Amino acid sequence: MQASRARLFKEYKEVQREKSADPDIQLVCDESNIFKWTALIKGPSETPYEGGVFQLAFAIPEQYPLLPPQVRFLTKIFHPNVHFKTGEICLDILKNAWSPAWTLQSVCRAIIALMAHPEPDSPLNCDSGNLLRSGDLRGYRSMARMYTRLAATPKKR
């Protein structure tokens, strides 16, 4: 309990210190609860998610960093490894491949990498996975791009 709090506090300071280090990631800690974080990540370029800003919700267990944080997309995203309704993410480092050496920041980076390299063989979003597995790259891309436009593009004007 105390260890996780201390570690999260250190991570918080790190994030504050290197705010501009990674412009694609913006990690914000809940003002009243250090175990709740949100992150805004930019969709990687040359993917259907380009131009979108996706919000992630972190729920951090008290055993952190021995246990991984629970991360899910708050923003709708059409991706084979993200549950379309709940936003749950199927990512090994959030499950059994977690290492205490990871940080919230590195988790965000891993999720960005997952967006760029979907893994259709372990799909949470079957529609998306099926499109990719059947080789319908154009179908997948257009669907993903559409949802990026609908849900993840910051409203201008």
Partner 1 sequence: MHDAMANDSSVSASARDFAKKRRVNRSAKLKQCKLDARREQWLSQVKGKSCKVTPMASPPTSSSPPVPMPRPQSCLHDSDMVFASHSPTSNSPGKPPKVGCCPNNSVSSGGSTRSCSLSASDGEEEGARGEENSAIDDWETIADALSAYKVNDGCHPSCDTRGPFVESRVPPAPVNDSGTRSTMNPEPTRTIPRAWRPDDEFRPQSLPNLYKQQSFPANMERHFGAKGWSHPAILSAPSSCPICYEDLDPTDSSFLPCSCGFRLCLFCHKRILEADGRCPGCRKQYSPVEGEMLGMSGVKPLLPFQLSRSYSMGSRS
Q: Which residue in 29, 90, 108, 126 is the catalytic one? A: 90
Indicate the residue among 11 and 69 with the shorter CB distance to partner 1. 11
Indicate the residue among 86 and 99 with the shorter CB distance to partner 1. 99
Burial-class residue 11 by CB neighbours within 10 Å (0-12, 13-18, 19+).
buried
Q: DSSP for 89-107?
A: B--GGGTTT--TT--HHHH
- Cβ 7 to partner 1, closest distance in Å? 5
Indicate the residue among 34 and 74 with the shorter CB distance to partner 1. 34
Of 150, 130, 149, nearest to 140 by C-alpha is: 130
Contact indicator for 102, 60 with CB cutoff of 8 Å: no
- Cβ 66 to partner 1, closest distance in Å? 5
Q: Distance between CA atoms of 49 and 152, rounded to whole angstroms?
A: 8
Indicate the residue among 7 and 36 with the shorter CB distance to partner 1. 7
- Cβ 10 to partner 1, closest distance in Å? 4
**Where do contacts with partner 1 occur on this chain (CB under 8 A)?**
3, 6-7, 10-11, 63, 65-66, 97, 99-101
Q: Distance between CA atoms of 110 and 90, rounded to whole angstroms?
A: 12
Residue whose token pair is 């919700």 = 57
Answer yes or no: 90 catalytic. Answer: yes
- Cβ 131 to partner 1, closest distance in Å? 32
Q: Which residues are catalytic?
A: 90
